[in-house]
Amino acid sequence: MPNALQNQYVSRFVKQWDEYNSPQHLKLQRPFLPQQPSNPGGLLPPGQVFNRDRLDLNVAGQTRMAPIQLLQIQSSASSINRAVDKATGTQNTYNNHVELLVDGKEAFDKMKEYIRSAKQAVYVEMFLFHSDKTGWEFANELVAKKKQGLDVKLLLDAMGQVNESGEVVKFLQQNGVDVKLYNKKLFDWENVNITHRKLVLVDGYKGVTGGMNIGDEYQYEWHDLMAAVQGESVQEMQTEFFQNWKHAGGQVPAVLPRLPVGMKFGTSATRVTVTSPQEPGKEKDSKNAFISAIQSALHHVYVVQPYFSDPDVIEALIAAARRGIEVRVLLPGVSDNPIHEVLNQQNAERLVKAGGKVFKVDPGEDKKVFTHGKLMTIDGVWTTIGSTNFDTRALENNQELNISVTDAGFTKIVEDRLFEHNRHALAPYDSKSFSAWQRVKAKVFSFFDEVL
């Protein structure tokens, strides 16, 4: 515990730091900085210093926290966001509220709540939309809104619908819902480009994104994650929806839902990053964001992933573990993909040898609990969640979307619920289960990670 003298010294240092980086001092002492444009909307321009007067980190018990701890949190937030700014060219918006949704009941209840509250528009983008109980329930929610006169659009991936009967899509179209299939061609000379995004967007300011498609396994069986967002970032998510919608042959409405004027949603700094080969300059934004954030970590990196195989991300995590960062990864105890199950074991072993910690999530007695969430937290202050797996296809070839939230309060909830008190049992990775034959297969499969 820091003593009184240390607290006094650090308090003085924090005050001096804030004064030095105040807008007045920056203006007077650093004329080489480009002048920031005026912003009548009150949003902060990108690239500014993340000081306490510029970013509300929502630190619980801040008044009781030692100054050195506050300084560490502020330093992490600044380090990560500066790096991601530079790596991606994206920026945070600041009028947002974000809520973690763990497993199917929380997520589907929230999606239905948002859809039922819609007054203007409902836009949905999914990789899979099953013709099962959950699929029909969700379809009826969309049709009910269409019958109320709302603009209802559904974008589905063509490959994701190959094994579906088509009955749900036919029902939706017959009832006026505008349905488009993304990339019917599927293949080109460079890659397989699918939309793997999961988006439910309502009225331009409510959104849900994460790992869940529409189907019974997502609502009732798997361990998966979504985030509910209200605020400015939903406008960016809506923009990305219509990028894919246009690519699928859809028309953009002349008037799109906007943010309610003057409404305050929250104080979570939130940015949207994508994988998008269809958008020049955004092809690998999420991958660049993840790696730059990992490289900026000062204390810990916690990860939940179903597919853990991209060599660049794995190397960044290994490097972090070797420099003393606590790296903790949760992987599925059972996989839906035998190829990735072997690749997961290979990379888990490498990370453990470098000093990281890997845990398998208990699949339950019936072996049906597949951990499908895609999330990472860093230093207790930054969280990214979305559709992006840590495999090369997701990070380079698919259409993917993540939100990254700089908010210590939100990140504490995430870390408590997933890494400290996960309702699913966690077992340390045991390399003894990785046989010699599996090691050989992993070497071969690694060469094909981009298309698996």
Q: What is the pLDDT along the chain (452 residues), one digit of tens a residue?
A: 445 544 554 455 445 545 544 444 333 232 222 333 443 334 333 334 343 335 678 876 655 667 778 888 899 999 999 999 999 999 999 999 999 999 999 999 999 999 999 999 999 999 999 999 999 999 999 999 999 999 999 999 999 999 999 999 999 999 999 999 998 775 554 568 999 999 999 999 999 999 999 999 999 999 999 999 999 999 999 999 999 999 999 999 999 999 999 999 999 999 999 999 999 999 999 999 999 999 999 999 999 999 999 999 999 999 999 999 999 999 999 988 777 788 898 999 999 999 999 999 999 999 999 999 999 999 999 999 999 999 999 999 999 999 999 999 999 999 999 999 999 999 998 876 766 656 555 565 565 555 55
- pTM value is 0.85
Q: At a CB cut-off of 8 Å and minimum separation 6, what does 196 contact? A: 127, 157, 387, 388, 394, 398, 399, 400
Instruction: Give the pLDDT confidence score for residue 4 in this predicted structure.
Output: 54
SS3 assignment for 390-416: ECHHHHHHCEEEEEEEECHHHHHHHHH
Distances (CA, A) of 19 to 13, 22, 62: 10, 5, 20
| Segments of the chain assigned to CATH 3.30.870.10 | 97-247, 269-446
97-247, superfamily in CATH? Endonuclease Chain A (3.30.870.10)
**What gap in Å lies between CA 149 and CA 154, rounded to an integer?**
15
Within 13 Å of residue 161, how many CA atoms lie on the same side as its CB? 23
Angle between helices 103-117 and 133-147 (to 10 degrees): 10
pLDDT of residue 432: 67
How far is C-alpha 313 from the chain's CA centre?
15
CA nearest neighbour of 385 among 107, 23, 55, 70: 107
d(CA 323, CA 321): 5
Dist CA 313 CA 354 (whole Å):
14
The pair of structure tokens assigned to 420 is 């400290």
CA geometry: angle 196, 314, 104, nearest 5 deg: 40
Residues 6+ apart with CB under 8 A from 312: 287, 291, 395
CATH fold of 269-446, please?
Endonuclease; Chain A (3.30.870)
CA-CA-CA-CA torsion for 249, 255, 259, 260, nearest 10 degrees? -150
Cα dihedral 390→396→398→403 (10° resolution): 60
pLDDT at 209: 98
